Amino acid sequence: MTVASDPRVTDRVHQELRDQIFAGELPAGARLSVPALAASLGVSRSPVREAIVRLVHERLAREEPRRGAVVADVSLKSLIAIYEVREVLEGLATRLAVENAGRRLIRTLEDVLGEHERAVAAVDLTAASEADMTFHRLIREAADNPEVVRMLDEVQTQVRLAMRTTQVTRGPKLAVADHRAIFTAMAAGDPAAAEQAARAHIAGLRSTLAEQAGEPR
Partner DNA sequence: CTTTGAAAAGTTACATGTAAATCCCTCTTG
Partner DNA sequence: CAAGAGGGATTTACATGTAACTTTTCAAAG
Find the binder of a second copy among 38, 41, 81, 187 (CB under 8 A).
81
Neighbouring residues of 47: CB distance < 8 A, sequence distance ≥ 6: 8, 9, 10, 13
Scanning 28-36, 82-90, 117-125, 183-191 for contacts with a second copy by CB under 8 A, the matching segment is 82-90
Tell me how far, at minimum, the Cβ of 153 lies from DNA, in Å.
22
163 touching DNA, by CB under 7 A: no
Find the binder of a second copy among 9, 43, 70, 88 (CB under 8 A).
88
44 touching DNA, by CB under 7 A: yes
**CB atoms inside a 10 Å sphere around CB 89:** 22
Reading phi first (left if > 0) and then psi (alpha if -120 to 50, else beta), residue 149 is in: alpha
Which of residues 65 and 102 has its CB atom nearest to DNA in the complex? Answer: 65
3-state SS of the chain: helix, strand, coil percent to 5? 70, 5, 25
132 touching a second copy, by CB under 8 A: no
Are the C-beta atoms of 208 and 168 separated by less than 8 Å?
yes
31 touching a second copy, by CB under 8 A: no
Whole-number Å distance between alpha carbons of 209 and 201:
13
Query: Which residues in 54-77 are b (16+ Cβ under 10 Å) and which e?
Result: bbbeeebbbbeeeeebbbbebeee
Find the binder of a second copy among 69, 92, 120, 139 (CB under 8 A).
92
Which of residues 129 and 207 has its CB atom nearest to a second copy in the complex? Answer: 207
List contacts with a second copy (CB under 8 A). Answer: 5-6, 8, 11, 49-50, 53-54, 57, 65-66, 78, 81-82, 84-85, 87-89, 91-92, 96, 145-148, 151, 154
List contacts with DNA (CB under 7 A). Answer: 6, 8-11, 31-36, 43-47, 50, 63, 65-69
